[in-house]
Amino acid sequence: MRTPVIAGNWKLYKTTGEAVELVGNLAPLVKHARDVEIIVAPVFTVLGSVAKAVAGSNIRLAGQDCFWEEEGAYTGEVSPGMLRDAGCSHVIIGHSERRQYFGETDETVNRKIRAAIDGGLSVLFCIGETLEEREADKTFVILKKQLSGGLAGITREQLDSVIVAYEPVWAIGTGRTASDGQAQEAHSFIRETLSGLHGKETADRIRILYGGSVKPENIKGLMAQPDIDGALVGGASLKADSFAAIVNFAG
Ligand code: PEP
């Protein structure tokens, strides 16, 4: 019912040559992948070159962030329209590294999500609790706050352009993955919360990805969970063979 999404977040890695080489190696390894949407999110400066390299393939492009204004005196920012112009269909918004190091709040995340959807992009909207919050039993409170804050003012129709990525901060880049059960519990809570906000039918349609040290070795178990609809992959997306093995999880 929900087509799985496997998205690679390349973070601050890969120069133009390296990025083009990576997608060049990846494309043949995933070309037979059926019933899965494949997305990669390179740094802004290489988007144009990667867009050319993936043209005609089943790999789609995402920006790693965007600003909420379309243009203006905002030095250093990139707008949704500019991402589209560079070949992106998607954008990651609210990644925990942006919340942690660049002062993103639920409010700025919300402004960005609304602008991105208005600009014709689909959004990979990241949420997740820190280790401290999990240990203080605040996981669900945090997820609910991030969901309702990030999606404030978003209509049911607009929600069709949103993919939620549940990324427990303690599992990102640490090698420590949430267990299948822990991830499923959080995903089920997220779907229930979305159902409360926008109705069951809409919530049942939304893809919820898991992110946090996803590797070829753990993708199958995660994907077997009823509310896990794909993965947002950091480290393991930087090599064609490991990312392809995750994309081809079913095969
Ligand atoms: C991420 O960057 O979104 C991520 C989940 O990273 P990693 O897979 O390296 O934990």
The pLDDT-based confidence of 11 (bands split at 50, 70, 90) is very high
Percent of the chain with pLDDT over 70: 100
Backbone angles phi, psi at 107, to 5 degrees: -70, -45
- Find out whether the beta carbon of 228 lies less than 6 Å from any atom of ligand 1: no
The answer to whether the pTM exceeds 0.95 is: yes
Q: In this structure, what DSSP letter does residue 46 have?
A: G
Which tokens belong to 49?
A: 């070159």
If you average pLDDT over residues 107-116, what whole number do you get? 98
Residue 39 Cα to ligand 1 middle (Å): 14
Residue 212 Cα to ligand 1 middle (Å): 5
Backbone angles phi, psi at 5, to 5 degrees: -125, 130
Residues designated catalytic: 95, 167
Residue 174 has pLDDT above 80, yes or no: yes
The pLDDT-based confidence of 250 (bands split at 50, 70, 90) is confident
Percent of the chain with pLDDT over 90: 96
Helix (H) or strand (E) holding 129: none
Three-state secondary-structure class, residue 163: strand
Tens of pLDDT along 117-158? 999 999 999 999 999 999 999 999 999 999 999 999 999 999
The pLDDT-based confidence of 106 (bands split at 50, 70, 90) is very high
Whether the CB-CB separation of 68 and 111 falls below 8 Å is answered with: yes
Residue 175 Cα to ligand 1 middle (Å): 9
- Find out whether the beta carbon of 168 lies less than 6 Å from any atom of ligand 1: no
**Residue ID of nearest Cα to ligand 1 atom 1:** 234
Counting ligand 1 atoms within 8 A of each CB, the residue from 65, 170, 213 with the most, and so the one to mutate, is 213
CA dihedral 87, 93, 96, 102 (to 10 degrees): 90
Residue 9 has pLDDT above 80, yes or no: yes
Give one DSSP letter per residue of 220-251, joined into a string: HHHHTSTT--EEEESGGGSSHHHHHHHHTTT-
In this prediction, residue 19 carries a pLDDT of 98
CA dihedral 215, 220, 225, 230 (to 10 degrees): 60
